[in-house]
């Protein structure tokens, strides 16, 4: 009887409609049930520190806000604590704490929606209460100002990862940007003795070592020093898009052998190998405005933000398709397995996410794309958050 029904459905074309309906229900249900973890979001520095209230809808102004986190099914968000190289001695650590204060203040004002968590048990409790688990990641070793007690203090305030460098090198670790151009700004390549002490102390504390932004020599020194699985919070694949911020094949394999996880960045410039050429053409077409902004003291990424908001139609054309994001995930899986890839969007820290992903509300479309690429429900759960939770547990104090 059932075979006869299938044949009838196939003959009348209804079989395709029925399977499509079941599939549509399936990917939405899979997304809703999975624990979605994003390991890198810059909304604190790009919006909160500029006076915006992320508890309100900020459509058109940001990629993220609390209503859209809920809409997109974001269960665990690691908020980046960030300041650039203009902050240093006596300013970087203080600014980091101000940003941490801002996250706690947001959580205090919205106790029914989110909770700042520090442990796997706290994460589990928040999810059980149907709250978004907010975590803290510090993006840049310059914020400890060469002081291990400052590292301890950030951990005690809830920071659960430290990105060893941002684009700027520290006195103890060289960045990818500086290593790639043999910059005199990097006093040496890799970790020096103090840098290795930082990694060792992080292991002791239960703070994850984040290897996004670091130079190749720093990467290898850190991964050989760490006794715990590392993370790469927001980076992509060099073989698909050869920019200094992406990981080469041997690095990808090493993270897998370490038991760590690479969280793929959503930035078009790290996904699409043609993006830099398009961006250069865009900049040249607005060279007079660029010159005026440079004269006004604006930095490169600030100029990008201003021009991109002014010419949205041109920017839209440059955005990478979401299929390229899935290509980077596929590449990592082929090299090192399904257990070592996750998501680190860099939302609100990038000016060009993939076309289909306008903000955190669009995360369900990523689940749909992964299923369409052939990933199983179990695989999707690992990519969306299961792999990160494993590493978080492995780093946490027992």
Q: What digits encode the pLDDT tens for the residues 52-71? A: 999 999 999 999 999 999 99
Choose among 245, 247, 198: nearest CA to 221. Answer: 198
Q: Is the pTM of this model over 0.75?
A: yes
Q: Band of the pLDDT at 112, cuts 50, 70, 90?
A: very high
The average confidence (pLDDT) of the chain is 92
**Which pLDDT value is given to residue 12?**
41
Do residues 174 and 165 touch, judged by C-beta distance below 8 A? yes
What's 354's DSSP letter? Answer: -
Does pLDDT of 5 surpass 90?
no
Higher pLDDT, 141 or 279: 141
**Which pLDDT value is given to residue 185?**
58
Structure tokens that stand for 106 in this block: 């947001």
Structure tokens that stand for 75 in this block: 């269960």
Return residue ranges of the chain for CATH 3.20.20.140.
27-272+321-395
Choose among 233, 300, 239: nearest CA to 271. Answer: 239
Does pLDDT of 10 surpass 50?
no
Choose among 68, 70, 74, 80: nearest CA to 44. Answer: 80
Give the helix/strand (H/E) hosting 202: helix 193-205
Does pLDDT of 223 surpass 90?
yes
279-324 pLDDT, tens per residue? 889 989 998 999 999 889 988 878 888 988 889 889 889 999 999 9
**Which pLDDT value is given to residue 315?**
87
* Phi, psi dihedrals of residue 343, rounded to the nearest 5°: -125, 130
Query: Which fold is adopted by the domain 27-272+321-395?
Result: TIM Barrel (3.20.20)
Structure tokens that stand for 212 in this block: 């996004």
How many Cβ atoms are within 10 Å of 37's Cβ, its own excluded? 26
Q: Which residues pair with 81 in a beta bridge?
A: 138
């Amino acid at each position: 009887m059932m075979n006869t029904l299938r044949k009838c459905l196939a003959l009348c074309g209804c079989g395709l409609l029925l399977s499509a309906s079941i599939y549509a229900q399936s990917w939405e249900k899979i997304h809703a049930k999975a624990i979605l973890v994003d390991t890198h979001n810059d909304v604190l520095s790009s919006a909160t520190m500029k006076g915006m209230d992320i508890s309100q809808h900020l459509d058109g102004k940001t990629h993220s806000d609390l209503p859209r986190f809920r809409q997109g099914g974001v269960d665990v968000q690691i908020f980046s604590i960030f300041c650039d190289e203009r902050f240093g001695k006596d300013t970087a650590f203080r600014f980091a704490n101000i940003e941490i204060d801002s996250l706690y203040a947001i959580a205090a004002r919205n106790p029914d929606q989110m909770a700042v968590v520090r442990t796997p048990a706290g994460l589990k409790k928040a999810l059980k209460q149907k709250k978004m688990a907010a975590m803290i990641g510090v993006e840049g070793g310059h914020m400890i100002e060469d002081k291990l007690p400052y590292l301890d203090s950030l951990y005690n305030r809830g920071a659960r990862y430290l990105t060893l460098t941002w684009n700027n090198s520290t006195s103890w670790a060289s960045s990818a940007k500086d290593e790639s151009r043999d910059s005199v700004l990097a006093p040496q390549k890799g970790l020096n003795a103090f840098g290795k002490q930082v990694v060792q102390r992080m292991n002791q504390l239960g703070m994850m070592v984040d290897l996004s932004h670091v130079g190749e020599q720093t990467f290898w020194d850190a991964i050989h020093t760490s006794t715990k699985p590392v993370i790469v919070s927001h980076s992509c694949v060099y073989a698909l898009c050869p920019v200094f911020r992406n990981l080469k094949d041997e690095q990808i394999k090493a993270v897998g052998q370490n038991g760590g996880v690479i969280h793929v960045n959503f930035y078009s410039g790290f996904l699409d190998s043609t993006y830099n050429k398009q961006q250069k053409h865009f900049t040249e077409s607005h060279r007079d405005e660029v010159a005026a902004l440079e004269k006004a003291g604006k930095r490169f990424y600030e100029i990008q933000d201003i021009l991109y908001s002014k010419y949205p139609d041109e920017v839209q054309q440059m955005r990478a398709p979401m299929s390229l994001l899935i290509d980077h995930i596929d590449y990592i899986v082929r090299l090192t397995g399904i257990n070592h890839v996750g998501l680190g969007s860099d939302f609100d820290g990038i000016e060009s996410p993939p076309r289909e992903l306008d903000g955190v509300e669009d995360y369900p479309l990523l689940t749909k794309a992964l299923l369409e690429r052939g990933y199983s429900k179990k695989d999707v759960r690992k990519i969306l958050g299961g792999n990160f939770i494993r590493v978080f547990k492995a780093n946490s104090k027992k």
